[in-house]
Amino acid sequence: MSTPANPMIIQATERDDTLNPRQLRKAGFIPTTIYSKDTESKSIQVKTKEFVTHYGRGLRIFELDGVKATVRAKQVQIDPLTQAVLSVEFLEINPEDAKKAMAAEAQRRADEAAALEEAKAQAKANAKAAAAAAAAEAEAAEKTDEGGDAAPKAEAEAEKAPATA
């Protein structure tokens, strides 16, 4: 499994030029290309199941075993009807940059989780305040039905209830 400091390792091989991309996909591979600013692009192939499993978990940085490259999934082409991965464009990156990117991604996910927990707590507090206000209003309506003038008292209680929106 990938950790924030290490990219996920997936198997990759040079692309079989005798097969067209459709035949590659039928054989269980995704035709991919690695782009680099230092070298020419390379045509490779990766196993479909392996890539889709890790990409679906949110991983975008991979170490390609067999090609010896650390890459970031730059663009993934997906069939709109079948949702099958048609091709992937990888951008070769420095392994140190990969570690920094993985750490930044882990931090972003942790921040999102914290924000979600905070939103849940706020929603719970809002629901509690709304229930208290509704109970006060119901009590005031009950007292009004008995003949007493409880409207000013109910309004005062509603103002005391924390109104967080």
What is the tens place of the pLDDT at every residue in 53-90?
999 888 888 989 888 888 999 999 999 999 999 999 99
pLDDT at 31 over 90: yes
pLDDT at 149 over 70: no
pLDDT at 17 over 90: no
- Beta strands per DSSP E along the chain: 8-14, 29-35, 42-47, 61-65, 69-78, 85-92
Q: What is the CATH number of domain 8-93?
A: 2.40.240.10
How far is it, in rounded angstroms, from Cα 28 to Cα 65?
17
What per-residue confidence (pLDDT) applies to 56? 87
The residues that bridge with 73 in the sheet, in sequence order, are 90
What is the tens place of the pLDDT at every residue in 90-121?
999 887 777 787 788 788 888 988 999 999 99
Kindly report the average pLDDT of the chain as a whole number: 84
Distances in Å between the Cα of 84 and the Cα atoms of 30, 46, 87, 108, 145 are 10, 14, 9, 28, 65
Q: How many C-beta atoms lie closer than 10 Å to residue 138's C-beta?
A: 11
pTM of the full structure: 0.59
What per-residue confidence (pLDDT) applies to 7? 82
Cα torsion through 66, 22, 77, 72, rounded to 10: 0
pLDDT at 1 over 60: no
Answer positive or negative: Cα dihedral of 136, 141, 144, 149: positive
Task: Please tell me which residue, 164 or 9, carries the higher pLDDT value.
Answer: 9
Residue type (1 letter), 89: E
Instruction: Give percent of the chain above pLDDT 70.
Output: 84
How far is it, in rounded angstroms, from Cα 114 to Cα 40?
42
Task: Please tell me which residue, 145 or 143, carries the higher pLDDT value.
Answer: 143
What per-residue confidence (pLDDT) applies to 162? 61
Instruction: Give percent of the chain above pLDDT 90.
Output: 42
Task: Write out the two tokens for 21.
Answer: 């991309």
Those residues whose C-beta lies under 8 Å from the C-beta of residue 43, and which sit 6 or more positions away, are 14, 15, 17, 31, 32, 33
